[in-house]
């Protein structure tokens, strides 16, 4: 077969995380047919896996094979060149060459950055002593990002060890709840007065704190950590100063976290959960524009280089044209798998243009309910992010601004009664709350002209799910807010609430209708629905709802 343009223009992907895996999946038929040449370079030794489930793997709730997203043999048999366990050190854009840590180089025609993000390592004494050197964490300190981290957590959980989690954000809490459920003794250490401090209000924080305590989790609030103490795993004296490990002794391992009030929190494993930062260093070294991520336009093309693209956790979608309507509201990388997967599907369509016969459907555009519809599909969500805690028996959902209280004075100019001049005044913010601390329930809804601007729900899974839906749609709340409370009343049927086109799986963007159709067509388990629709293949937070829809379908019809 005569070489095509695309064969002369090999595609090289840097990074093999879940977003790259989706791109590779979508390009695979074209590679198999010989229409595309594809090389994937990943510095982890294994093919891509579902990183979202690393904590579940760490507590023993899933297996490495269950979270695998790619099969090395299958990809190589199709013609994909995999370079795993090697790192891209440098990109020479003038010569279109990628230089690797094993001193080899790979030529590209089109280059895709899918380098993801790396966890933030806080500046703590004895954790990162030399700012000039790459960070090497001491034994007993992990960041919970990869399979090695999961294996370390697994050993601690199996041994019912003391796990200290630094950071009270969503990932820290999910890991804490899962580890405590599986038998570890867990302490969460965080700055503010309550966990999820950026997303929920103080009252929700109190209800959540009680739920954490009820699960045996110790919470050290308002705590500023200053350093770690290292000791011998056999219980030797903690090292009070950094120093090389000497002789045949085992390497010093984490033994305690020091706080600024002079107290310490002892433990066997420290999990750092202090946020992530996009991996932009290789792109920046190649002279590409970077901000909070690698800067790309809404077609995912790097600024000033049409041969280079970026997607997923490393990409910041922001056009050079500041007035671009498609990029308005873009706010750095989303850090979420759903937008990354949609970007990968979109980019596959771009890379396949001119390769597929006219009229052929790009393989990325599978019937997932999340087909790229246009340039906007490549964007990160423009709304403030919705957070949903994934934990057994602790339900938290929140979004938007939840600081206002029901009896706050309206802001100047917000109340039509105070309108001055010819500017129409913004309608006032109206706040409704419901609190039942004894039963672990709390709800706050802040609306303007009936439309949600922010909400938080604790211990009320169905009201929370309904509010997520209303928030994402910008829809009006029922005038009688107590309708939402009734969703969590005892005796409500499974699967109640939710319009047919409401999204059930937010990672893969699959709605109720698509899942219901799969069930009608014979899918009787969550796994079967996942295989048919991709629902539930991301964080797994929707498995309960998918199960409820299956049960609803198979319920005997009332006589």
Ligand X SMILES: Cc1cc2nc3c(=O)[nH]c(=O)nc-3n(C[C@H](O)[C@H](O)[C@H](O)COP(=O)(O)OP(=O)(O)OC[C@H]3O[C@@H](n4cnc5c(N)ncnc54)[C@H](O)[C@@H]3O)c2cc1C
Residues at the site binding ligand X, with contacts judged by CB under 6 A = 14-20, 41-44, 51-52, 54-55, 87-88, 114-117, 144-145, 171, 279, 282, 312-313, 335-338, 340, 390, 507, 539
Work out how close the CB of 203 gets to ligand X at its nearest, in angstroms, rounded to a whole number: 25
> How many alpha carbons fall within 13 Å on the CB side of residue 145?
19
Would you say 169 or 428 has its CB closer to ligand X?
169
Would you say 50 or 203 has its CB closer to ligand X?
50
Would you say 144 or 252 has its CB closer to ligand X?
144
Work out how close the CB of 98 gets to ligand X at its nearest, in angstroms, rounded to a whole number: 9
Would you say 204 or 337 has its CB closer to ligand X?
337
CB 364 within 8 A of CB 372: yes
Residue 383's contacts (CB-CB under 8 Å, 6 or more residues apart) are 329, 399, 471, 472
Work out how close the CB of 474 gets to ligand X at its nearest, in angstroms, rounded to a whole number: 21
CB 421 within 8 A of CB 434: no
CB 163 within 8 A of CB 179: yes
Work out how close the CB of 70 gets to ligand X at its nearest, in angstroms, rounded to a whole number: 11
- Enter the tokens of residue 484: 């939402």
Q: In a 10 Å sphere around its CB, with 0-12 CB exposed, 13-18 middle and 19+ buried, how is residue 247 labelled?
A: exposed
Q: Which residues pair with 538 in a beta bridge?
A: none
Work out how close the CB of 173 gets to ligand X at its nearest, in angstroms, rounded to a whole number: 11
Cα 85 to the chain's mean position, in Å? 24
Residue of 284, 278, 267, 185 whose CA lies nearest to 229: 267
How many Cβ atoms are within 10 Å of 479's Cβ, its own excluded? 7
Would you say 410 or 544 has its CB closer to ligand X?
544
How many Cβ atoms are within 10 Å of 238's Cβ, its own excluded? 19
Work out how close the CB of 41 gets to ligand X at its nearest, in angstroms, rounded to a whole number: 5
Would you say 178 or 445 has its CB closer to ligand X?
178
Would you say 181 or 258 has its CB closer to ligand X?
181
- Enter the tokens of residue 100: 């690797």
Work out how close the CB of 150 gets to ligand X at its nearest, in angstroms, rounded to a whole number: 9
Q: How far apart are CA 403 and CA 443, in angstroms?
A: 13
Would you say 375 or 538 has its CB closer to ligand X?
538
Q: How far apart are CA 94 and CA 129, in angstroms?
A: 37
Q: How far apart are CA 225 and CA 261, in angstroms?
A: 9
Work out how close the CB of 125 gets to ligand X at its nearest, in angstroms, rounded to a whole number: 25
């Amino acid at each position: 077969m005569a070489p095509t343009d695309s064969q002369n223009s090999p595609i090289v992907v840097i990074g093999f995380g879940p977003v790259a895996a989706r791109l590779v999946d979508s390009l695979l038929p074209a590679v198999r047919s010989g229409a595309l040449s594809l090389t994937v370079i990943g510095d982890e030794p294994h093919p891509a896996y579902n990183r979202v489930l690393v904590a579940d793997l760490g507590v023993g709730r899933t297996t490495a094979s269950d979270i695998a997203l790619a099969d090395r043999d299958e990809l190589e048999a199709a013609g994909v060149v995999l370079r795993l366990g090697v790192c891209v050190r440098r990109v020479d854009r003038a010569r279109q060459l990628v230089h690797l840590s094993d001193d080899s180089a790979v030529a590209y025609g089109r280059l895709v950055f899918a380098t993801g993000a790396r966890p933030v390592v806080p500046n703590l004494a004895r954790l990162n002593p030399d700012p000039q050197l790459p960070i090497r964490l001491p034994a007993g300190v992990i960041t919970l990002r990869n399979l090695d981290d999961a294996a370390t957590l697994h050993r601690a959980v199996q041994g019912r060890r003391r796990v200290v989690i630094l950071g009270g954000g969503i990932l820290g809490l999910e890991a804490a709840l899962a580890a405590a459920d599986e038998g570890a003794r867990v302490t969460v250490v965080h700055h503010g007065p309550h966990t999820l401090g950026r997303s929920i209000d103080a009252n929700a924080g109190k209800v959540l704190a009680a739920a954490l305590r009820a699960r045996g989790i110790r919470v050290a609030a308002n705590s500023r950590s200053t350093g770690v103490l290292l000791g011998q795993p056999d219980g030797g004296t903690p090292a009070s100063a950094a120093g090389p490990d000497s002789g045949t002794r085992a390497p010093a391992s984490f033994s305690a976290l020091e706080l600024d009030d002079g107290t310490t929190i002892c433990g066997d494993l420290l999990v750092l959960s202090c946020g992530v930062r996009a991996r932009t260093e290789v792109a920046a070294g190649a002279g590409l524009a970077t901000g909070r991520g690698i800067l790309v336009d809404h077609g995912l093309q790097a600024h000033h280089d049409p041969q280079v693209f970026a997607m997923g956790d490393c990409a910041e979608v922001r056009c050079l044209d500041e007035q671009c309507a498609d990029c308005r509201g873009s706010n750095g990388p989303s850090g979420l798998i759903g937008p990354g997967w949609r970007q990968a599907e979109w980019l596959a369509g771009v890379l396949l243009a001119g390769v597929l016969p006219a009229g052929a459907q790009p393989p990325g555009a599978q019937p997932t309910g999340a087909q790229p519809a246009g340039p906007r599909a490549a964007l990160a969500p423009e709304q403030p992010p919705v957070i949903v805690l994934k934990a057994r028996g602790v339900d938290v959902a929140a979004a938007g601004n939840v600081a206002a209280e029901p009896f706050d004075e309206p802001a100047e100019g917000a109340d039509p009664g105070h309108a001055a001049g010819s500017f129409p005044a913004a309608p006032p913010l109206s706040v409704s709350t419901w609190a039942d601390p004894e039963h672990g329930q709390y709800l706050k809804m802040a609306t303007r002209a009936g439309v949600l601007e922010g909400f938080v729900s604790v211990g009320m899974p169905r009201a929370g799910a309904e509010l997520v839906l209303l928030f994402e749609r910008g829809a009006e709340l029922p005038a009688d807010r107590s309708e939402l409370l009734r969703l969590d009343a005892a005796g409500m049927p499974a699967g109640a609430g939710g319009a047919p086109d409401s999204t059930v799986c937010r990672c893969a963007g699959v709605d109720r209708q698509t899942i219901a159709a799969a069930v009608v067509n014979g899918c009787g388990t969550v796994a079967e629905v996942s295989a048919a629709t991709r629902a539930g293949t991301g964080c797994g937070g929707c498995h309960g709802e998918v199960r409820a829809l299956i049960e609803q379908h198979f319920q005997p019809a009332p006589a």
